[in-house]
Amino acid sequence: MSLPRSDQSGHADFSLTTALHRLGSPPYVYRLATQLTPWFAWAAVACFGIGLYGALVAAPPDYQQGQAYRIIFVHVPAAWLSMAVYVVFAIAGAVGLIWHIKVGFIVARTSALIGAAYTFLALATGSIWGKPMWGAWWVWDARLTSELVLLLLYLGYLALDSAIDDRRTAGRAGAVLALVGLVNLPIIHYSVEWWNTLHQGATVAKLGAPSIHIDMLVPLLIMGIAFKMHYLTVLMLGVRTGLLKQEKRASWVKTLSPAR
């Protein structure tokens, strides 16, 4: 474990070096994650409260789909997060791979599990929405198939990770898999444009104004933030668990109070 060194580099460079050194310091990251957990958790509770009210009560029914469209308020945030978490997952793995920061592997490992949960939710809620609207639970549509590939990437990573005993080797191998799988993200996003799909096109994340009414857009965005806060809460808890497992014998772990 190398401690932060004071070197002769310039001031601007020094702050970045310090930040990197701190992120490589398990007790610092553990303390930070512990302090941040309640903030993210309460933010999630608040956003879910407001978002669910907006989604189920305040938003008007859709002119074509009636009340069935309300599935959008959980389906789309889950799908957004399934992809956003993948980006964090791949970057965290790369950070572990390139700078040998072990926290990177822990962030990647935790993110894979949550990412798989969001991908499952996006697929499952989409299936429940598809049955009354399309008349089928599942179709081999480009959007659905590429999202299923995303789930398989997460599950493949988790299988690989549990198959390798050495944590460092597992982290490296998984990071390579995660980076290769990044190719799938633009495919998911543009699948509705590149192929003639049954899945509807983008309504929010596109050039020009969103083609969704503001009364529906606002609860959708709040639900998006709620899912993000949920991710960060679970991530903080997972990072703490991962750090404790890795640093079992370190002196800072022995000074922790068991009550926390």
Q: How many CA atoms lie within 13 A of 96 on its CB side?
A: 26
For residue 63, give both structure tokens.
């002119």
Q: Give the residue among 167, 165, 70, 84 at the shortest CA–CA distance from 119.
A: 84
CB–CB of 189/217 below 8 Å? no
Give the whole-angstrom CA distance, residue 250 versus residue 44: 33
**Nearer Cβ to other proteins, position 52 or 87?**
52
Shortest distance in whole angstroms from residue 79 CB to other proteins: 12
Shortest distance in whole angstroms from residue 258 CB to other proteins: 3
Question: At 164, is the secondary structure helix, strand, or coil?
Answer: coil
Among 199, 237, 246, 252, binds other proteins (CB under 8 A): 237
**Nearer Cβ to other proteins, position 51 or 93?**
51
2 to 41, contacts with other proteins by CB under 8 A? Answer: 41
CB–CB of 164/173 below 8 Å? yes
Among 46, 68, 160, 179, binds other proteins (CB under 8 A): 68
Does 61 sit near other proteins (CB under 8 A)?
A: yes
Among 47, 59, 74, 153, binds other proteins (CB under 8 A): 74
CB–CB of 147/79 below 8 Å? yes
| H and E: helices and strands count for the chain | 9, 0
101 to 120, contacts with other proteins by CB under 8 A? Answer: 113-114, 117, 120
Among 38, 49, 66, 186, binds other proteins (CB under 8 A): 66
Inter-CA distances, 98 with 93, 95, 177, 200, Å: 9, 5, 15, 39
Does 233 sit near other proteins (CB under 8 A)?
A: yes
CB–CB of 70/129 below 8 Å? no
- Diameter of the chain measured on Cα atoms: 67
Does 78 sit near other proteins (CB under 8 A)?
A: yes
**Nearer Cβ to other proteins, position 37 or 184?**
37
Q: What residues make contact with other proteins under the rule CB under 8 A? A: 41, 56-57, 61, 66-68, 70-71, 74-75, 78, 113-114, 117, 120-121, 124-125, 128-129, 131-132, 227, 230, 233-234, 237-238, 240-241, 244-245, 248, 253-254, 256, 258, 260
